[in-house]
């Protein structure tokens, strides 16, 4: 299983690893950092090669993935957790300020696995801690959603938000259209265009095919 994961990641990411890192530098600096306290603790769920967690600023940083190669790709200041995310996380209750995940939930094997994963995120987040989710929105992709053989769960911003609300999260932001799907495929527009795109929110409904959800753990909630 691990060998398959390593091969998949190399096939998808190695040819444009440098470009992807530049893209994530812009995403973190120009948009995502606003949700992550620089003195806080953040977990990159399904961290892959660490494009988000290597570039975000935080005092404590974790990356979680099953792929052992992730450990070699993460920066020295990132603590790697190699485990099944649907099992109990090797983290204490209420210790994280932010859980972030991008293009990961659709790879989980079942909706039950996703629910269990979100329950662990809720347990480990501090009261008022934030969950940030970015992922392909099947409402706007349809057949292209299945171009990756390991996509298992069809998700939209509405279905994921409903799950989060059912288990006690509070939805702060729900955008069905955020980033273009090209960010996760072969088209590689100039990185400077991404910085402009993030500033011009009126373009998101025209080109966005990935959702953005920001939720928090209500302060009164007990894990």
Query: What whole-number distance in Å separates Cα of residue 215 and Cα of residue 200?
Result: 23
Residue 223, domain member (yes or no):
no
| Alpha-carbon gap, residue 29 to 41, rounded angstroms | 17
Tell whether 42 is covered by a domain: yes
Domain-embedded: residue 66: yes
Range of the domain at 58: 2-216
> The whole model's pTM is what?
0.91
List per-residue pLDDT tens for the chain, 223 residues long. 555 666 666 656 655 667 889 999 999 999 999 999 999 999 999 999 999 999 999 999 999 999 999 999 999 999 999 999 999 999 999 999 999 999 999 999 999 999 999 999 999 999 999 999 999 999 999 888 887 778 899 999 999 999 999 999 999 999 999 999 865 456 677 888 999 999 999 999 999 999 999 999 998 765 6
CA distance from start to end of the chain:
32
Residue 221, domain member (yes or no): no
> Is residue 23 a part of any domain in this protein?
yes
Within-domain flag for 100:
yes
User: How many structural domains does the chain have?
Assistant: 1
d(CA 56, CA 108): 24
- CATH code, domain with 121: 3.40.50.150
């Amino acid at each position: 299983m691990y060998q398959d994961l390593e091969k998949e990641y190399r096939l998808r990411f190695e040819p444009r690893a440098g470009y992807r890192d530049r893209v994530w530098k812009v995403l973190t600096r120009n948009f995502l950092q606003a949700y992550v306290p620089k003195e806080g603790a953040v977990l990159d769920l399904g961290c892959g090669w660490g494009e988000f967690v290597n570039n975000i600023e935080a005092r404590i940083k974790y990356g979680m993935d099953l792929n052992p190669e992730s450990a070699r790709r993460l920066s020295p200041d990132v603590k790697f957790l190699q485990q099944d995310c649907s099992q109990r996380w090797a983290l204490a209750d209420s210790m994280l300020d932010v859980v972030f995940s991008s293009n990961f939930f659709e790879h989980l094997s079942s909706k039950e696995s996703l629910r269990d994963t979100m329950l662990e995120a809720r347990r480990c987040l501090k009261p008022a801690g934030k969950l940030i989710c970015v992922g392909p929105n099947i409402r706007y992709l349809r057949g292209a959603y299945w171009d990756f053989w390991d996509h298992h769960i069809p998700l939209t911003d509405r279905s994921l938000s409903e799950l989060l609300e059912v288990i006690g999260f509070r939805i702060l932001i729900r955008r069905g259209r955020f980033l273009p799907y090209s960010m996760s495929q072969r088209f590689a527009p100039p990185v400077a265009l991404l910085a402009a795109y993030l500033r011009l929110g009126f373009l998101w409904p025209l080109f966005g095919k990935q959702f953005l959800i920001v939720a928090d753990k209500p302060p009164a909630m007990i894990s």
